[in-house]
Amino acid sequence: MNNDIFNMNRMGRYLVTDIKNAIARYGISFLVMATVSLTAYLLVGFFTMIVGAGWYSLEVAPRSVIMGITLVVLTLSAPAKIYGFITDKKEGSSFLMVPASSLEKTLSMIIVCCVVVPFAFFAVYLSLDQILCLIDNRCGDSLIIAINNGQTLLNELFSKASLESNNFIPDYSAFTSPWLYADDLAEGFLIFLLGALLFKSSKPAKTVGCLILISIALSMIATPIFTHGVMERFKEAAANNVTPEQLFEMFPFLSWSLKHAVLMDCISDTIVNIGLSVAIYFRVRKIKH
């Protein structure tokens, strides 16, 4: 590849610098979110002691909810805090002067937002949760153990349902793997990274607003197609007492999609992530102040 477009050594140096800048811009906020479960545990415990109810230990259910909410906040805030400065005339101009190509800058952004930040978050958050459960056994299972137990239980339920239906119902046990949702998490970070590069202010809020508008537009387009096309055939099938096997023969794509749901999910997420990455690249390449 042309040295002006991509150079591995230059890319490595730039990535290291980019990570250091990300820590400087978002490090404190990151630590607050990575330790929010421990903070909540201490606050709840001290509060219950003050009111005379004794020390209350947060169990796995509230800790899971807290982690989910924190992960959403991380996805919304991290891209804007780390790279939102690019749209600012003063700081953004210095970014444009950095001796790295647009491709290298884009790849670095994607690696930081989609790999470094979520990996570091889960590593710190889950490690603290595991230590907390070892110190206070009244907290119950750690999140790591709870996720593993939940995955095992769901695998058994999916496998049992598939066997009882003579494999008519596909075995969706692959959907219980946390790794399957890595591309979905990356998609969220990419969306808000693109929003951070497009908008000059209120970046997360405007990105959410655009997502709502896009969802409404897609629903307005898809609903008439589904209602006047697919639904008519479903009603016809129901009126003629069509068996499930015959129904799948009438809708071969539906049958294939259900049997290959994991593949469909991976393909769709990959297409969206590639599209978002390309959009981010062109935004970085064409940005002006």
DSSP one-letter string for 242-283:
--HHHHHHH-HHHHHHHHTHHHHHHHHHHHHHHHHHHHHHHH
At residue 241, the pLDDT reads 66
At residue 289, the pLDDT reads 65
Number of neighbouring beta carbons within 10 Å of residue 241: 7
pLDDT at 271 over 90: yes
Q: Are 126 and 35 in contact (CB under 8 A)?
A: no
Q: Are 89 and 289 in contact (CB under 8 A)?
A: yes
> pLDDT for 200-214, tens place per residue?
889 999 999 999 999
At residue 220, the pLDDT reads 86
Q: What is the rounded distance in angstroms from the CA atom of residue 180 to the CA atom of residue 198?
A: 29
Q: What is the rounded distance in angstroms from the CA atom of residue 281 to the CA atom of residue 276?
A: 9
> pLDDT for 102-120, tens place per residue?
999 999 999 999 999 999 9
Q: What average pLDDT does this structure show over 68-94?
A: 92
Reading the block at residue 208, the tokens are 């959410």
Mean pLDDT of the chain, nearest integer: 86
Residue type at position 147: I
Reading the block at residue 289, the tokens are 């102040």
Query: Is the sign of the CA dihedral 163, 246, 267, 211 positive or negative?
Result: negative
Q: What is the pTM of this model?
A: 0.87
> pLDDT for 20-72, tens place per residue?
999 999 999 999 999 999 999 999 999 999 988 888 989 999 999 999 999 99
At residue 168, the pLDDT reads 55
At residue 240, the pLDDT reads 63
Kindly report which listed range (76-85, 124-133, 261-270) carries the lowest average pLDDT score: 261-270
Kindly report which listed range (16-30, 95-109, 165-179) carries the lowest average pLDDT score: 165-179
Query: Is the sign of the CA dihedral 221, 223, 228, 233 positive or negative?
Result: positive
